[in-house]
Amino acid sequence: MMSHMTRLAGLLVFVILFVALCIMALPGGGATLAQEAAKAPTQAPIPILAYHRFDPTTPGPTTVTTRVFEQQLQWLAAHHYKIVPLRAVVDSLRGTAPPVATPAVVITIDDGHRSVYTELFPIIRRERVPVTLFIYPSAISHATYALTWDQLKEMLASGLVAVQSHTYWHPDFRKERARRTPADYQAFVDLQLTRSKSVLESRLGIKVDMLAWPFGIIDHELEAAAAHAGYVAAFAYEGRLATPDADLFALPRIPVSNAARGASFGALLSQVSSGKPNP
């Protein structure tokens, strides 16, 4: 009996040594799966630019003139930046798509001001530039400053414009929290996130799963509410590049002003410090 057990033990040792030698013979010298995964390419940092309004001649705190915007596009082209859809970058950061080749940049526009259609759309259609609009639908076809549903549909049909959520009516969540009971505030947040999503999806026939936080206001409760409402990513105004280790529900964007020209515009694309939130 003892002799039989000894033979079994010897055979087991032989099998273990054989397997170990086979693993060591593999490319990489027996690297673990975790080590191989660590070698997988990750997304390089990418600037996500945030605009609001456009005007032919008159700049403002959140208004960029069309001439300056065209100069910014020219700077990007001259420095070999590719303007890519926001979706491609988000999918890469989530690990559901390959990394986007760099240098690259994303253009987003908040609020849904009518100048997006009258001033910006002719430029992006001519230059074939993809952009994402973050819209709060309560204003669409109602406020005099806002886009109409027909204008949004026309821009979507171009294949260059994507539409995502900016809550339902762009509230200041800090003020709303201060004046409401905890239960009322939570219900208010849920309404702002879910109603915007459902209205945009039903009116435009699109999938809405990204969100820009009004005024750049974010906290853990808001992030949890966004995830519960069906969003997969949300965006802030932190004035720095989006990186693979960034919080997917507080992805930084870089506000762009009319003063961002030439070298100063180029400096924005490598920002690492925090910036002030814009409305």
Using one digit for the tens of pLDDT, what is the confidence trace for 101-158?
Answer: 999 999 999 999 999 999 999 999 999 999 999 999 999 999 999 999 999 999 999 9
Q: Are 217 and 199 in contact (CB under 8 A)?
A: no
Pair 114, 18 in one domain: no
The predicted pLDDT at position 41 comes to 76
Residue 275 falls inside a structural domain: no
For 16, the domain range is 2-36
**pLDDT band, residue 270 (cuts 50/70/90):** confident
238-244: average pLDDT: 92
Give this prediction's pTM.
0.84
Q: Are residues 26 and 161 in the same domain?
A: no
DSSP lists the bridge partners of residue 233 as 210
Domain CATH for 128: 3.20.20.370
CB contact at 8 A, 119 and 66: yes
Q: How many residues does the chain have?
A: 279
Higher pLDDT, 255 or 30: 255
pLDDT by residue (tens digit) across 6-31?
454 444 444 444 444 444 444 544 44
C-alpha to C-alpha distance for 225 and 177, rounded to whole angstroms: 14
In this structure, is residue 134 part of a structural domain?
yes
Q: What is the pLDDT of residues 58-75, one digit of tens each?
A: 999 999 999 999 999 999
Q: What is the mean pLDDT of the chain?
A: 88
